[in-house]
A and B are shown apart, each in its own frame.
Chain A
Amino acid sequence: MINAILVFNNHGKPRLVRFYRHLAEEAQQQILRDTFHMVLRRDEHVCNFLECGSLFGSPDCKLIYRHYATLYFVFCVDSSESELGILDLIQVFVETLDKCFENVCELDLIFHMDKVHYILQEVVIGGMVLETNMNEIVAQAEAQSKLEKAEVSSSLERGAQCRCRAGWALGAVQEDSMLQAVGPGVNGAIPACVSPGRGHRVGAPH
């Protein structure tokens, strides 16, 4: 079983937090911080597995992570998962994101957290791996976004000003304005992750 899937950037800012076991928000943030510190300590060319001991309260827990450009993808799993299998799965997940967002970068994850969640739901549900075939995942995700688009456009036709969600439907239109809006951050931590242009490409592994 997968206990949690965490995506955070080089500064420990969460980009996706998905726990498959209920924990209070403070506990979730604590795990996020601990995980970040543990992963950050590690050199570039060491193995991708980390025994995290008491992080989840049970000794049977392992962190399997990959580092792409500015983002860490961390899966906390127990011993029933195969280490290399999960490593593959992370790759599949990231490649799927890359396909769905077309050259995914950290910004996509920041502004479309919901969309990332929906894609993840096609890969893992309830801590168990649902699908490992990338084409199938992309197909299902796109079918659902089409359905959403159809609903949004139909409601627009009806004249209702339904700008409720940009999500899939309006995301593309807003991309440019979003970049302008982000601009140079006040806090030094944030601009570091917003690289010039569209940011680092996440798709290719480091």
Chain B
Amino acid sequence: MALKMVKGSIDRMFDKNLQDLVRGIRNHKEDEVSDRRIKQELKQDNIAVKANAVCKLTYLQMLGYDISWAAFNIIEVMSASKFTFKRIGYLAASQCFHEGTDVIMLTTNQIRKDLSSPNQYDTGVALTGLSCFVTPDLARDLANDIMTLMSHTKPYIRKKAVLIMYKVFLKYPESLRPAFPRLKEKLEDPDPGVQSAAVNVICELARRNPKNYLSLAPLFFKLMTSSTNNWVLIKIIKLFGALTPLEPRLGKKLIEPLTNLIHRYGGRCCFFHSRLVKCLLGGSLSLFPDARCLCVQKLRILIEDSDQNLKYLGLLAMSKILKTHPKSVQSHKDLILQCLDDKDESIRLRALDLLYGMVSKKNLMEIVKKLMIHVDKAEGTTYRDELLTKIIDICSQSNYQYITNFEWYISILVELTRLEGTRHGHLIAAQMLDVAIRVKAIRKFAVSQMAMLLDNAHLIASNTQRNGICEVLYAAAWICGEFSEHLEEANQTLEAMLRPKVTTLPGHIQAVYVQNMVKLYASILQQKEQAGEKEAAQEITQLMIERLPQFVQSADLEVQERASCILQLIKYIQKLQVKEVPVAEEVIALFAGELNPVAPKAQKKVPVPEGLDLDAWINEPPSDSESEDEKPKTIFHDEEQRHSKPRHPEMDEEELARRREARKQEQANNPFYIKSSPSPQKRYQDTPGVEHIPVVQIDLSVPLKVPGMPMSDQYVKLEEERRHKQKLEKDKKKKKQKKEKRGKHHRHNSLHTESEEDIAPAHHVDIITEEMPENALPSDEDDKDPNDPYKALDIDLDKPLADSEKLPVQRHRNAEALKTPDSEAPPVEKKTLMVHIFCCVLCLLVRSQSYNGDFCLLSEFRRKTWISGNLQNDSQVTVSVIFENKSTSFLKSMELNVLDSLNTKMLRPEGSSVHDGIPVPFQLPPGISNEAQFVFTLQSIVMAQKLKGTLSFIVKNDEGSTHEKLDFKLHFSCASYLITTPCYSDAFAKLLESGDLHMSSIKVDGISISFQHLLAKICFHHHFSVVERVDSCASMYSRSIQGHHVCLLVKKGENSVSIDGKCSDPTLLSNLLDEMKETLSKC
């Protein structure tokens, strides 16, 4: 009794369960959380205690503790026999296992065991766990098991298995094609849950690569009209949304069922409206202007709804329509601007997104003005940053297409610099640079604004550490320096740049400051020299010499280097100045020439000139070891080359990568490389020779230099006035024209064709497109993200399955033992080596010999066998033989031996001779049957094979035991090498067109069975599949295990059948046709 009590208390010590743990944590008992207690529990042999500990760990994981150290214990709990513990283990595993967990490979067999467990919940729990931590290895090893589960008897397992297949596809894309037919089957599963799971998976797949799933459209169409499950309906409609752009006819078909759906779900119609709209997207919409208007109208109702969720969805759907049909949305501008005032940030962001697509030349200024008001009002930096980027996006889209007045744009940018704490300073800076460089007419104005920014730098850079906005100073300094000829008060700007405060700016900005100071200095010097003010010139040099040392002391290396370089230069200039030598010309020559914007992809697009091999060495590289160098080269020259060759490409690549990286770095730091909008469009051609002609007559009433910080509003007003004036002028002109026209009918017919809607830009702006190399290749490949995890799923599902595309199956042990040494590959390669093919009928003809009349082997049987083809060697065929003991005696020590032919050999264990038989791994009591497998290697499969064999065994009965023998023949027909492979008609046609196939034909008379029946016979006996059937004519396809294509054209006459065959091997074809003739003649 006492002993029991002691034991009980010890038990209790380890018995704290999850609830106790939670309670402890809530009472702030550190003790409960300590790993020590749990670690102690994990060490116990009792699985219940261990499970308890793992359960607690799962809770701790939620709180942010890393529990990966317990991975092995988790696996232990997973392999418990009880469901209760197993479930705990799998839950913990699903929370903390991932691809990097090294013990995960230990789980493969456990999971496989659980998957095939008779208890559906064991299987279910394993599937659930697997869905969270499936790795490429697990996916490969278990794909076949999961696929089998897809046709499990319990729908509960089926639906889980179907869903997990998607995870398997992601990790092991090769499995998609073999598994797809079964997935398709599941779309028509009797259980709605399984159906929904299959729809779910196909929708996920189709999102990445819709065109592969176009052929499923009719099936989904049927589902949509029949299904009552909302979830399935939503998914199908989403899927159609992805498919309609590819197949415009679909949209037309969809309208009716969708309208029905809307009526059916009267109360929830709003919900379906938004779906409807999304789904009708694409080409179909343009066919049905009515539907489109209807959609947009319905959406308007949604957006005006008081329910915020519907409002949001309405806006979301509208942005989808906007992409294809901007016009139909533009009329709702008022509504969308109204949404900008909504208190809900999600809705405001959506509205912003819509605005992007809605701007035109006419409304750009108005919209941006509204947005600027919001920027001022906005609370919270995220939304304000979003607004800022949107403003810049809107203005710069399609190469500044909608901007008519760049002065206005520059002033907007300058206004935006007043935002505090934004992260997007670099964005504004990039815009300033881009505009100043590419719009020549605006440079003067831009420079004046930038000079002002530099002057007020203290306002911008007040808090440099956290403030991203100081980036604009980078742009300002560069613009002022580069275009210093436009500066009116260069002296003042130079002084602003030399202020001590500048040294608090980030290094890269200071570097630009230093560099551009010199540019400024050079232009000032030139001015002064030309004016003959020698003293002023010397004064400015002195100023530089006085102030530059503060940059020489900079901690930033770049700044330091540039500053000291320049300081020396200026000191030298000073010396020359003292000697009264004119220096300005030479200094300015340092910065002569224009810098052109280069498109970001320009370098990549330079085509490689013909005959240039970039990988070839220009000079042979010096050999690696010195000792080799010392040797007389003439003797070892050849050998040396051979040795060092293989190493070259590697070094080459490494070097190239390094240089590329360095170049990228350089470009990134180089202000002369300007990133620009992604689609350079030549809108205004840069006409050579007239660059500097001021194209526009700038109205004198426009004050180009605005005192203080510029206000964009002024420009809005001015622009309005200008437009008005323009309009008036145009009207006047038109009237004049009309008058003229009355007089002279033939003139001015094409001069003013533009509509009044078109607003001429204020400046005849000269937007320079970025430079691209001549004969640049228009390639857009680089737009694709190479890291997209879903790219691997872009697989053509219509191609017929190749024999290599089978899911790996766990092989039986004795079959593996039979492998010859040369077919045994290292384990890593094994997965690619061994491929398994199901579905081939071999007929094993066993000559029945009734020995003493007591027993016989099965006289003649046909059964399905596994044939495993080995791609790298010749094909291997596995023959399954069923042995049935029909006698009353006990059979043991069975050995099967076959007389090998040149072509076909039985695989025997290592070290045994051709005369040794292979032992059958079981004994047969009376009346029992069992199956054994034997592997054969085949050289050629073009001819049928017959092998003689003997089965020897010992018969044991009461009287004693005797040794007996039984002879048989093994018949490999040509048809048995074929694998039923589905083939689509287009692939079939392509195959026939290719012209590498040999042709042969036969004709069989006296056939009375129906055509349908006939085709079925060919399919069954010869493993063909019907590609297409028209009346009494059908095309069929099959494929041999060695990859020969076999195509048949079967025609039925009144009493005869003719078969035309095409095959890549003529012998195989003729043999096949002979066999076929035999089959048919039996009909």
Contact = CB atoms under 8 A, between A and B. Distances in A.
Contacts of A190: 26
Contact of B82 (A22, A129, A133, A151): A151
Interface residues of B, number: 80
Interface in B676-697: none
Interface string A94-131: 00000000000000001101100110010001111111
A45 B308 contact: yes
Contacts of B311: 47
Interface in A150-204: 151-152, 155, 160-167, 174, 178, 181-183, 185-187, 190
Contact of B88 (A114, A143, A162): A114
B238 A152 contact: no
B98 A22 contact: yes
Contact of A51 (B91, B207, B346): B346
A83 B22 contact: no
B87 interface: yes
Contacts of B275: 82
A116 B64 CA distance: 18
Interface stretch (B13-21, B654-662, B950-958, B1003-1011): B13-21
Contact of A26 (B64, B200, B204, B235): B64
Nearest to B97: A22
B538 interface: no
A132 B159 CA distance: 12
Nearest to B156: A140
A165 B163 contact: no
Nearest to A183: B27
B62 A48 contact: no
Contacts of A155: 48, 82
Given A43-B344, A84-B309, A166-B17, A126 B164 contact: yes
A183 B62 CA distance: 23
B1083 interface: no
A134 interface: no
Given A130-B163, A187-B28, A83 B309 contact: yes
Nearest to A140: B156
B193 interface: yes
A126 B11 contact: no
Contacts of B463: none
B121 interface: yes
Contact of B83 (A84, A151, A165): A151
A193 B87 CA distance: 30
Contact of B27 (A51, A117, A186): A186
A144 B90 CA distance: 14
Contacts of B344: 42-43, 46-47
B743 to A, nearest CB: 62
Interface stretch (B49-57, B490-498, B800-808): B49-57
A128 B201 contact: yes
Interface string B130-164: 01111000000000000000000000100110011
A50 B49 CA distance: 43
A99 B313 CA distance: 31
A80 B1015 CA distance: 43
A130 B234 CA distance: 14
Interface in B46-105: 48-49, 51-52, 55, 58-59, 61-66, 82-85, 87-88, 91, 95, 98-100
Nearest to B315: A47
Most chain-A Cβ atoms within 10 A of its Cβ — which of B22, B49, B229, B382?
Answer: B22
Interface in B733-778: none
A28 interface: yes
Given A46-B308, A128-B200, A82 B19 contact: no
B980 to A, nearest CB: 32
A186 B936 CA distance: 76
A128 B28 contact: no
A25 B61 contact: yes
B213 interface: no
A114 B125 CA distance: 13
Interface in B805-859: none
B313 A50 contact: no
B705 interface: no
Contacts of A26: 64
Contacts of A186: 27-28
Given A114-B18, A125-B160, A143 B346 contact: no
5 contacts: A47-B308, A48-B308, A129-B231, A160-B48, A165-B18
Interface of A: 1, 14, 16-18, 20, 22, 24-26, 28-29, 41-43, 45-51, 53, 80, 82-85, 87-88, 110-111, 113-114, 117-118, 121, 125-133, 136, 140, 143-144, 147-148, 151-152, 155, 160-167, 174, 178, 181-183, 185-187, 190
